[in-house]
Amino acid sequence: MHMNSLSKAGILTLIFVLTFVVGWELYWRSQHLALSYNDDESLWAHTRKEIYQTSPSRPVLIGSSRVKFDLDLEAWQRVTGEKPVQLALVGTSPRPLLNDLANDPNFKGTVIIDVTEGLFFTPDGSFPEREATKRVEFYPKWSLSQQLSFHINHLLEDHLYFLDEERLSLQPLLTDLPVPPRPDTWGGPKFPKEFVVNRFDRQSTMTDAMVADTSIQNKVKAMWLEIGGHSPKQGVDGPLLTAILNSVKQSVDQIRARGGKVIFVRMPSDGPFHEAEKMGYPREKYWDRLLAHTQTAGIHFEDYPVLSKYQCPEWSHLAPKDAITFTEDIIPILQQKTGWFINRNGAKTPATTASLSNHQ
């Protein structure tokens, strides 16, 4: 090939690719999708670096998706003046993360643990446990090169909607292809693109379209039913459950021994999802036993009218507006329940203790 031909091919390629990028970006902007950051291992590792300056006013949050949706970090910051460190991971068990914090001798802060029973009480080696373990194992291997890439990616993600690996990359686009399913196999849930966006602080929030459109909410509900169909109907029991409780207690004790603080929180769920959770994971057998075994305080949304008044649009997570008030409501309960000093300099009118139930 002549030099001229190669150069012409290169220039034409550049024009084609730039045209595609501009068109692709404009297309997704026209779809009214909000900008979303990749909630990947680098963003988690970046956030994990922040755990050493935590306090009851700036706790570390671990758990599953509910605490990512339901606890609004900016609302918390407005109340306490500080933003929590959001380490929760969607669809995973927080136990590997708790274990990681417990084994870090420099961590002496406060941990709020979101308990979604179907994920929390999963045995070692199960998918929710493995996925969380992967993040924990990634953190010490996060190389300087990956850190540099992460910061460059952040600059790009700030401006480009289509840089959204979870929703708009090749893999999810291929998954949307109308390929007939193979009998007896399941490729995992396909949530609508409008369900969730992630902020750089790892806050997850529903999009406006999701909040407004019940047909999108119904698609998410259908996904929960599908996931339920592929999940164990009953939670772990017997020695396996005892082993899980023992490992949690050990981690909690390790954190406390260094002066750290721990509390469990059960976030709201409703509808058939909540009914299935109650059947599969009866409160007295799992939640109550967890608190008793670890001798740790816990806040269950059902015990507080101010927390149980909310409805989840898709049975499992709060809408963004509700997440703000939920956060404002839970802070005084946390303080009252634990006696921790939570700075509330920027607080709006705090909920009075009279509005709080005295349940465990």
Spatial separation of the C-alpha atoms in residues 316 and 270, rounded to whole Å: 6
Spatial separation of the C-alpha atoms in residues 248 and 329, rounded to whole Å: 27
Spatial separation of the C-alpha atoms in residues 159 and 165, rounded to whole Å: 15
β pairing state of 204-206 and 196-198: antiparallel
What single letter denotes the amino acid at residue 275? E
Q: Which is nearer to another protein, 38 or 86 (CB)?
A: 38
Spatial separation of the C-alpha atoms in residues 166 and 198, rounded to whole Å: 10
Q: How far is the CB of 63 from another protein (least distance, A)?
A: 26
Q: How far is the CB of 316 from another protein (least distance, A)?
A: 25
Q: Which is nearer to another protein, 7 or 295 (CB)?
A: 7
Residue ranges with strand state E in 157-245: 196-198, 204-206
Measured in Å, how far apart are the chain's first and last C-alpha atoms?
A: 78
Asked if 42 and 49 count as a contact pair (C-beta separation under 8 A), the reply is no
Q: How far is the CB of 94 from another protein (least distance, A)?
A: 23
Q: How far is the CB of 177 from another protein (least distance, A)?
A: 7
Backbone angles phi, psi at 147, to 5 degrees: -65, -40
Q: How far is the CB of 264 from another protein (least distance, A)?
A: 32
Q: Which is nearer to another protein, 191 or 315 (CB)?
A: 191
Binding site for another protein (CB under 8 A): 1, 3, 5-10, 12-13, 16-17, 20-21, 24, 38, 42, 143-146, 148-149, 152-153, 156, 163-165, 168-171, 173-175, 177, 179-187
Q: Which is nearer to another protein, 3 or 354 (CB)?
A: 3
Q: How far is the CB of 137 from another protein (least distance, A)?
A: 13
What single letter denotes the amino acid at residue 104? D
Spatial separation of the C-alpha atoms in residues 336 and 112, rounded to whole Å: 15
Q: Which is nearer to another protein, 161 or 281 (CB)?
A: 161
Q: Which is nearer to another protein, 8 or 49 (CB)?
A: 8
